[in-house]
Amino acid sequence: MNPSGNSTRSARAELVARVDELSRQNAELTAERDALTRGEAEWEQRLAEAEEDRDAACVSLRRMMRRKNTHPDAPEAG
C-alpha cells in the first residue's frame, strides 16, 4: 500500500466524521429553534389574551365610573 493512500483514507474518514458531527449539531439546533418558535407563539397567544382581558376591564371600569358620575346616588350593580 501507498503511504499517501493511507493519509487520504484517514483524511476522508476525518471529513466524514466531521460532516456527521455537523449534521448532528444541525439537527439539534433545528429542533431547539423549532421548540423556541412554538414557545414564542404560545407566549404571544397568552399576551394577546391578557391584553383582551385588560381592555375588557378598562371598558367595564369606564362604564362603572360613568354610571357613578351620572347617577351618584344609585346603588352599584353587583
Distance CA 3, CA 18 (A): 23
Q: In this predicted structure, what is the pLDDT of residue 77?
A: 60
Task: Give how far Cα 47 sits from Cα of 18, 35, 50, 69, 72, Å.
Answer: 43, 18, 5, 33, 36
Write down the pTM of the prediction.
0.55
Please check whether residue 76 is in contact with residue 64, taking contact to mean a CB–CB distance below 8 angstroms: yes
Residue type, 2: N
Q: Consecutive sets of 10 residues in the chain, 78 residues long: mean pLDDT of each?
A: 77 97 98 96 96 97 92 69
